[in-house]
Amino acid sequence: MQITRKDIGYSIYSRLEESLRFWIKGKLLNLYGSEWYSSIPQGIWDKTKEKLSFVSPKEIDDPLMLLDETDIPDLVEIVGYKKTMSNFIPQALMSVEDFKDKFIKLYDIRNKIAHVKRNFSAIDLDLLIEIADSFISILGIAGKDLRETLNCIKTNPDKIIIRIPPSFFIYEDKPDFAHITNLPSGDYDPDGGFIGRKEDLNKTTALILGNLHRVITISGAGGVGKTALVHQICQNLLNNESLPFDGLVWVSAKEEKLTTTGIEPIEPTLRNYESLLDAILETFGWIDCLVKPIKEKEEAVEIILRVGDKGILIVVDNLETIRDERVVEFIKDGLPSPNKILITSRLGLGEVERRYPLKEMNNKDAITLLRTVAREKGADRLAQFSDDVLLKYVNKISRYPLAIKWVVGQVAIGKDINMAIGDLTSSKGDVARFCFENIFDKLLDNNARMVLYALAVNDKPLLRGVLSHVSNLAPEELDNALRDLTIASLVVPNQIKSSDDTIETRYELLHLTKNYIQSKLKSNPEIHRGIMNRTEMVQNLIEEAERAGTQYRYSLRDMGAESEEEKVAATWAITAYQKYQGNNYDGAVNAFKRATQIAPNFPPIYRNWANMESDAGFYEKALELMQQATKLDPSDSKLWLTWGNIEKKWQRFDRSYEYLKRAASLSPDDGHILGSLGEVEKRRGNYDEADKLLHKALLQGQKGPKRDELICYTALADNYRRWAEFFIHEKLREEAFRKLEDAFIYSSKAMELGEDIRAHNTFLEVCREFATFLLYSEGINKAMPFFNKVIKENPEQEKERKLNEACCYYLAKTFLYSDKIDEAKYYLNLGKKSLYPNSSFFNKYKILETEFCEERKKGKLCNVAMKGDYGFVEIDEKTGHTIFLHISQIFPRISSEEFINMVGSSFTFVLENTVKGPEAKKARLIKDEKNISN
């Protein structure tokens, strides 16, 4: 390919810019760690927010995601933010002033490469190379690719040259766009002009002129005045001497309009994607392009959209009636900044947009509109009524501009106003058809219609949970339906204060909407019957829960459900528990969500849900739910008990202690709380305090079911066992012995009270601990009864297997070192049956097994050197024959003093011939009972 100077410049520049971004990323992370985002100027966050689609900068994990959306001036601003440039650049390598100067020159060079008609000279290329070279030492490892690029430029440029992509070029030929527009006249002009909406005008104009949003959607129900508002915005912009855009293009997909004589068809200016392109081309005078193929039209529109400094404002009226997906894709992806799109739609895009929901007119504006239209249409008598009288009528028609105009128009041609309003909400009436029919029949799904039906049959607004029951929709389906209906202004969510001073959301229909939905529902008797049946289902569910068996009664009592919503929510919590027990975690979560939808301020729901999440391994979710529960009712000791037990399960013992202490302060005589607090103190190593708490819990437990007593005995036994371990570590053997005795007594009592897996395992642990303690201190005979309580021929549970492998190892080793080979082999083989490949005893067993295969000799220690570091052993089978024994070959390890005192003691050993002669290796002292088994 033919290489141009600009291609070389672009190759170096693009590599340098990439290296700079990687370098800045590394510096941000090294200097600020996970808080790097706080060192980015707010203006840059604002600039990149739309491209990165984040709510908070904390959502961006990788600084490079942000840096890739910035340009050279932005990079300088980041490095110099809050005067921290010296943290980025060592003064010895480059001064701050020099750094800024190089970036200014670099940005000028970039523009020379990008602008089609600007010259990029050899001097410019040399300067670019010089700047790139100067950054190499600063960039460090981030400049590796840049260094290779600069080297290749001098030796083999074909290898690394990148052709300039078309998107990088800037074209200077810009037509004069000032006040270019195709805005039609407003259809509100014959009705007295645009009236009111001052606040809506100010807010939406600010959105359009701001820098945060590329697509702005004015959403709302049919007839609420979306088109009129947007038209007035455009009119105001065009009336300015300096239009803030290079041009304004208006297209409308409306196919009909409402008049006093009915619905009349109109010709839309937007039918499909190509008609949108044609509107832009025609508005800007590119008439010759209108007959060209669509591909060439797209290229021409691309030029128009890219060359303007201020961008174009494209208005798309009534977007929801467009079925050509290419139009939507153009809005989402085909509009480069600074161009903007302003849309009117009953539903909007659902993404990439900044939606502004337009509501009904306020009282004052609605009355003013009615009077103005009445005068324009000759209904002067109607215009003369007082504000109080007119307010009643505009409220009957929900203060919708279209409805007001239509009703006034009917009055002007002689119809009674009350009859006109009655006709307004008929499902067969022109207004209802115009405002609702299209969206109800074509744009809403069955779930949204079901929510409308459910609200229409109820006289009062419904809570979300009850609405979920009546509509028979799952929480996600209900959420989606409510979202669409709220956006379309068909459902109104109201936040009100409940009897316990909390805020709850209730949903209702506007009067205008409600009448229409009721009339539609009457023509669907089967759906109507189903809705009514589900309305009664809530009360039936409550009554059934009260009559149901133990599980339901216990849950309602335990959860403290009192209100209807709480009782229904409790039944959903039971359903969630059953689903989780059946390994249906997702179903359980959905059931809990249903419960929280029904009774969002009922703490036990969150408590039970947190328990499930903790059991499922989701600690953070459990923590979040417990925070919510205790925030709702900080005086409920059961909530703090649950939270403490969750923290205990996850080994957060200090946190657990804090929450259980709070529970105990609220319920000081609760045995369960005292027991849990004792368990935590045990795990924290406060054995004395744990002992006191567990004995208090035992006193309470002895008053209740046997199981409470069993749990306390088990906890006490485990506390004494751990306490004994502490004393053993401190070499306080008498204290350890007493604690092990207590542990055995209490674990035995627990076993007598009934079968319980934890009591059983604790008993085995205590016996194993006692057995090994006695083995080392009293010998095998004292230890054996306790070993026998632990060791099983065929252990079934994992705990039993682990204890088996440990106990059998100790016994095999002890018998082996006492030269009781048959007993040693028996326990070795028994232990191997329980052995897991990943067990900590696996290698120990392998080593022990090899010792059985070694040929061992016996002999007595004849004498020991004065220093006690070696001696000589006389072999039993060769009287008078002695061999060398070094102290390092005796196991377990002994001191020199101990070695000197062992003269006359018997040893077993492996005889090994060395260059110095035969020596005794792996020597063990022969004892009748005791041996140290490390």
pLDDT tens for each residue of 706-760: 888 899 999 999 999 999 999 988 889 899 999 999 999 999 999 998 888 999 9
Check residue 625 and give its pLDDT: 95
Check residue 259 and give its pLDDT: 66
pLDDT of 538 strictly over 70 = no
Check residue 558 and give its pLDDT: 62
Higher pLDDT pick, 262 / 882: 882
Higher pLDDT pick, 431 / 529: 529
The percentage of residues in the chain with a pLDDT greater than 70, rounded to a whole number, is: 91
pLDDT of 401 strictly over 90 = no
Phi, psi of 600 (to 5 degrees): -65, -15
Tell me the pLDDT tens digit for each residue of 859-878.
899 998 888 889 999 888 77
Mean pLDDT, rounded, for 377-398: 86
Check residue 192 and give its pLDDT: 62
Least confident of 415-424, 499-508, 865-874: 499-508
Alpha carbons 861 and 902: distance in angstroms, whole number: 7
The percentage of residues in the chain with a pLDDT greater than 90, rounded to a whole number, is: 23
Phi, psi of 890 (to 5 degrees): -100, 130
Q: What is the rounded end-to-end Cα distance, in angstroms, of the chain?
A: 77
Mean pLDDT, rounded, for 184-199: 76
Is the Cβ–Cβ distance between 511 and 398 less than 8 Å? yes
Tell me the pLDDT tens digit for each residue of 618-658.
999 999 999 999 999 999 999 999 999 999 999 999 999 99
Between the CA atoms of 469, 475, 479 and 485, what dihedral angle is there, to the nearest 10 degrees?
Answer: -30
pLDDT of 465 strictly over 90 = no
Alpha carbons 593 and 599: distance in angstroms, whole number: 10
Alpha carbons 340 and 245: distance in angstroms, whole number: 9
Check residue 42 and give its pLDDT: 86
Check residue 554 and give its pLDDT: 39
pLDDT of 232 strictly over 50 = yes
**Average pLDDT over the chain, rounded to whole?**
83
Alpha carbons 205 and 223: distance in angstroms, whole number: 21
Check residue 549 and give its pLDDT: 40
pLDDT of 547 strictly over 60 = no
For 733, other C-beta atoms within 10 Å of its C-beta total 14
Q: What angle do CA 437, 446, 590 make, to 5 degrees?
A: 145
Mean pLDDT, rounded, for 221-248: 87
Q: Binning pLDDT at 50, 70 and 90, where does residue 933 land?
A: very low
| Ordered DSSP codes for 635-675 | T-HHHHHHHHHHHHHTT-HHHHHHHHHHHHHH-TT-HHHHH
Check residue 934 and give its pLDDT: 37
Residue for token pair 């800037």 = 170
Written as one letter, the residue type at 229 is: L
Q: Is this model's pTM higher than 0.75 or not?
A: no
CA 380 to chain centre: 61
- Of residues 310, 309, 276, the one with CA closest to residue 294: 276
DSSP state at residue 170? B
Least confident of 255-264, 327-336, 518-527, 651-660: 255-264
DSSP state at residue 56? S
- Of residues 619, 609, 624, the one with CA closest to residue 573: 609
Check residue 505 and give its pLDDT: 81
For 854, other C-beta atoms within 10 Å of its C-beta total 11
Least confident of 154-158, 215-219, 383-387, 909-913: 154-158
Check residue 778 and give its pLDDT: 85
Q: Binning pLDDT at 50, 70 and 90, where does residue 609 land?
A: very high
Least confident of 251-260, 302-311, 703-712: 251-260
Is the Cβ–Cβ distance between 140 and 20 less than 8 Å? no
Which of 110-114, 175-179, 636-640, 812-816 shows the highest mean pLDDT? 636-640
Check residue 767 and give its pLDDT: 94
Check residue 635 and give its pLDDT: 93
Check residue 175 and give its pLDDT: 35
